[in-house]
Amino acid sequence: MKKENKNKKQVSVSILKKRWRKFKTIKRGYYSFLIIIFLYLISFILPLFIGRSALIVKYNDKLYFPIFTYHAASDFSQNIPGEANYRLLKKQFKDENGGNWVLLPLYPYGPNENLLDETESNPPHSPSLQHILGTDTSCRDVFARLAYGFNVSISFALSVTFFAFLIGVIIGALQGFFGGIVDIVLHRLIEIWATLPILYVIIIVSSLLVPNFFLLCLIMTLFSWVGITFYIRGEFYREKSKDYVSAAVAMGAPNRKLIFSHILPNSLTPIISFAPFAIVGNIASLVSLDFLGFGLPPPTPSWGQLIQQGMTNIEYWWLVAFPLTVQFLTLIAIVFIGEAVREAFDPKVYSRLR
Amino acid sequence: MTSYFIRRFLLIIPTFIGITLITFLILQVVPGGPLEMELMKLRGGGQGGEVNSSIGNSGNINIPESALKEMKEFYGFDKPILIRYFDWLSNLVRFNFGKSYTYAEPVWDIIVSRFNVSIYFGLISFILTYLICVPLGVLKAVKNGSKFDFFSSFMVFLGYSTPGWAFGALMLILFGGGSFWNVFPLSGFRSEDFDSMNFFQQIFDQLHHTILPVIAYVIGNFATLTILTKNSVIENLSQDYVKTAFAKGLSEKRVIFYHALRNSLIPIVTGIGGFLGLIMAGSMLIEKVFNIQGMGLLAFNSIINRDYPVTMGILVITSFLMLIGNIFSDMIYAWADPRIRFK
């Protein structure tokens, strides 16, 4: 009985499942996918591994969890203003040897933490054992900033891609489904949008508004939804004339149902196969905007902002080389994913004679 | 077909008006423009955070009404926005781009003086990109799956995942005389003492300043064009007419380079039309990295300084070139591929 069930399942594998299986066979893309997903999930609990707050402090027979709650320095009778410095505290407890201890994250520096008090020379510092990728001009740890910047970059790119595709798909669907005057009017508007020098306009807007994360997402979304409309429009035109749509029309399906539950699921190929490359583009745009100084406001940890600092003085090579390396590795992983997705969704088998 | 292209040319006008209107509205409606900047300066800079919305009510500002009015007049903010736009447009039609706020010179003169620098880099890198990518793409297609294909794919992936300016920044760090080698000059279009050099020194100096930016430009478009070429050739190699050519006993070389290549190059040739726009698009970041005084850097600085006449002037020229370039692409397409008929 069970075996039969299994057989049945195999017979009726959906096309999506087939493509997923095909995707899994393309090792380079599949492993990149796993790595990026893993790192992105980790980046949400990053303070556990990289951060200034101690995980656990044992002080006078009481346990504290500074990672969840704020503790002033005076709570541990530390003689500095503001929040406790757990690295100094750890040293102090060790010297005292009085049964108190501090459990620090693996890499005990925060992304926005000014380390001026704990370093000797003037910032920025080149890589050392203490700060493996050096510090930036405001004496913040580069490695911590890069690590936190990963979450910012990916989250930014994911949300811009999602909303841009949402708008693009809706408009493309309207064009392709209704055709005629709707198509013509929208097409004229789209042509204006497509000819706008996008980066230039985004820079103009964000130079005037000084955006935060959500505002910058909004600005980027408003100017980057155009690309996908052409493909969706084409897909809708093609699908609309097929028999299953005629059948649905004959059965009295309303337009809403025709668009969303009949045609759209069959037009997903361009959406899925363009998404990784859109994400790559959006990450690169964010880095470019940050580099020009029109991106996320300080002190958001961002890759482009580090590069901007590095370009002010040619000697600060680590402020340019490391962010670019991280950007390169991230983008190449996503390009691998995109390549594999495209191959799984849009297989083109070329037969060549010789 | 002629009527099609005439229609396309006429359609430039509404699109152009749309583009400039959108940008004009953004510049004029969003707070933080030149008037606010000026007011902030007058108030002693420092605490200028709350200026944005408080222009009209001079309650706690000690700027005389008349001075405010004068400033508004200077920047043209005393008229309704649509009137301002039509004023600007009618000036533009008479080829009057206005005067720059920062340089106090006609915008057109400033742009023209920067244009040749951008064109110089744009043209060289454009030609180089085609000279490198097209043969590479063809070779990759012919040797698809070979070791050469595999290793050159690595370069393609590198190009995909590194923006041109980023690669330029990396090269500057390596070769610009910082912590590593001092091979290339840090910035600029030419050395400062260029005029006092003899002819050969001038050529050397120019090349010296050209190499790194051009590499950055080429990297920017390298991956897309190579892959486009490769895919196009591969697709053609699996067509029936190639099989026929093989079947009638032609040599492999003749089939590939005479029959298949000519058809494969059609989509690549059409890209040429877009290069005018591309030169502008990629240039802002690369000119910023290499501190080249071209159109891109001019645009960047005009935004920072709220020099709206220059900002709009560059937008006009860039989008106009892009619109013309698109039509030009389609013309080449129709010329290169007689099967294409535009209606």
Using CA atoms, how far apart are residues B279 and A247, in angstroms rounded to an integer? 50
Contact B242 A353 (CB under 8 A): yes
- Going by pLDDT thresholds of 50, 70 and 90, the confidence category of residue B56 is very low
| Full-model pTM | 0.85
Average pLDDT, integer, range A128-144 = 82
Enclosing H/E stretch for A118:
none
User: What is the number of alpha carbons within 13 Å of residue B172 lying toward its C-beta?
Assistant: 32
- Give the tokens for residue B57: 């009510």
Contact A37, A43 (CB under 8 A): no
Listed range (A71-75, B24-28, B154-158, B175-179) with the worst mean pLDDT = B175-179
- Note the pLDDT of residue A101: 79
Using CA atoms, how far apart are residues B22 and A197, in angstroms rounded to an integer? 12
Residue A315: list chain B partners with CB under 8 A. Answer: 178-179
Q: Is A194 exposed, middle or buried (0-12, 13-18, 19+ CB in 10 A)?
A: middle
For A189-215, the pLDDT digits (tens) are 888 888 888 888 888 888 888 788 898
Contact B281, B126 (CB under 8 A): no
Helix B295-304 × helix B308-336 angle, to 10°: 140
Average pLDDT, integer, range B3-28 = 87
State whether residue A204 sits within 8 Å of chain B by CB: yes
- Note the pLDDT of residue B44: 59
Please name the residue of chain B whose CA is at the shortest distance from the CA of residue A192.
B15
Using CA atoms, how far apart are residues B186 and B188, in angstroms rounded to an integer? 7
Cross-strand partners of A72 = A83
**Cα separations in angstroms, B255 against A334, B89, B239, B250, B258:** 37, 55, 12, 6, 6
Report which DSSP code applies to B306.
T
Using CA atoms, how far apart are residues A47 and B34, in angstroms rounded to an integer? 42
- Note the pLDDT of residue A349: 65
- Going by pLDDT thresholds of 50, 70 and 90, the confidence category of residue A333 is very high
- Note the pLDDT of residue A154: 93
- Note the pLDDT of residue A161: 94
Contact B166 A321 (CB under 8 A): no
Enclosing H/E stretch for A62:
strand A62-64
pLDDT of A250 higher than 70: yes
State the ipTM, two decimals. 0.82
State whether residue A214 sits within 8 Å of chain B by CB: no
For B107-141, the pLDDT digits (tens) are 888 888 888 888 888 888 888 988 999 999 988 88
- Going by pLDDT thresholds of 50, 70 and 90, the confidence category of residue A261 is confident
Q: In what order do the strands lie in the sheet with A62-64?
A: A62-64, A56-59, A101-103
Using CA atoms, how far apart are residues A49 and A58, in angstroms rounded to an integer? 19
- Note the pLDDT of residue A247: 92
- Give the tokens for residue A342: 């495209």
Q: Report the first-to-last Cα separation within chain A, whole angstroms.
A: 50
CB-closest option in B174, B238, B319 to A196: B319
- Going by pLDDT thresholds of 50, 70 and 90, the confidence category of residue A351 is low
Task: Report CA torsion sign: A77, A81, A84, A87.
Answer: negative
Listed range (A236-240, A283-287, A322-326, B337-341) with the worst mean pLDDT = B337-341
- Give the tokens for residue A224: 């980057």
Average pLDDT, integer, range A133-156 = 88
CATH of the domain spanning B107-336: 1.10.3720.10
- Note the pLDDT of residue B43: 66
**Cα separations in angstroms, A138 against A134, A298, A310, B224:** 11, 11, 12, 38
Whole-number percent of chain A with pLDDT over 90: 17
Contact A219, A203 (CB under 8 A): no
Q: What is the DSSP string of A134-192?
A: -B-TTS-BHHHHHHHHHHHHHHHHHHHHHHHHHHHHHHHHHHHHH-HHHHHHHHHHHHH
**Assigned fold of A143-344:** MetI-like fold (1.10.3720)
Contact A171, A189 (CB under 8 A): no
For A223-236, the pLDDT digits (tens) are 889 888 988 888 88
- Note the pLDDT of residue B59: 45
- Give the tokens for residue A3: 């075996």
- What mean pLDDT is reported for chain A? 84
Annotate A99-120 with b (16+ C-beta within 10 A) or e (fewer): ebebebbebbbbbebebeeebe
Annotate B17-53 with b (16+ C-beta within 10 A) or e (fewer): ebbbeebbeebbeeebbbbbebbbeeeeeeeeeebbe
Among B23, B36, B161, B317, most A C-beta atoms within 10 A, so best to mutate, is: B161
- What mean pLDDT is reported for chain B? 80
- Note the pLDDT of residue A35: 94
Q: What is the DSSP string of B245-261?
A: HHHTT--HHHIIIIIIH
Compute CA B94 distance to the chain's CA centroid, rounded to the nearest angstrom.
25
- Note the pLDDT of residue A30: 92
pLDDT of B281 higher than 90: no
- Note the pLDDT of residue A167: 93
Please name the residue of chain A whose CA is at the shortest distance from the CA of residue B33.
A208
Using CA atoms, how far apart are residues B157 and A115, in angstroms rounded to an integer? 37
Contact B342, B5 (CB under 8 A): yes
Contact B162 A328 (CB under 8 A): yes
- Note the pLDDT of residue B282: 57
Among B53, B186, B283, B303, most A C-beta atoms within 10 A, so best to mutate, is: B303
Helices (H) and strands (E) in chain B, counts: 15, 0
User: What is the number of alpha carbons within 13 Å of residue B1 lying toward its C-beta?
Assistant: 12
> Is residue A302 helix, strand or coil?
coil
Contact B101, B309 (CB under 8 A): yes
Task: Report CA torsion sign: B307, B309, B312, B315.
Answer: negative
Whole-number percent of chain B with pLDDT over 70: 88
Contact B165 A291 (CB under 8 A): yes
pLDDT of B48 higher than 50: no
- Give the tokens for residue A276: 């990784």
- Note the pLDDT of residue B280: 63
For B197-238, the pLDDT digits (tens) are 777 777 777 787 888 888 888 888 888 888 888 888 888 888
Q: Is A134 exposed, middle or buried (0-12, 13-18, 19+ CB in 10 A)?
A: buried
Contact B173 A310 (CB under 8 A): yes
Enclosing H/E stretch for A102:
strand A101-103
Domain residue spans in chain A? 52-104, 143-344
Q: What is the DSSP string of A209-250?
A: H---HHHHHHHHHHHH-HHHHHHHHHHHHHHHTSHHHHHHHH
CA of B170, closest CA in chain A: separation in Å? 6
Domain residue spans in chain B? 31-96, 107-336
For A150-195, the pLDDT digits (tens) are 999 999 999 999 999 999 999 999 888 888 888 888 888 888 888 8
Average pLDDT, integer, range B313-337 = 84
CB-closest option in A196, A208, A280 to B22: A196
**Cα separations in angstroms, B42 against B24, B47, B103:** 26, 11, 20
- Note the pLDDT of residue A11: 60
Cross-strand partners of B233 = none
Q: Using CB atoms and an 8 Å cut-off, which of residues 324-343 of chain A contact chain B? A: 324, 327-328, 331-332, 334-336
Backbone angles phi, psi at A64, to 5 degrees: -120, 150
Average pLDDT, integer, range A241-263 = 89
> Is residue B291 helix, strand or coil?
coil
Task: Report CA torsion sign: A331, A333, A335, A338.
Answer: negative
For B150-162, the pLDDT digits (tens) are 888 888 888 888 8
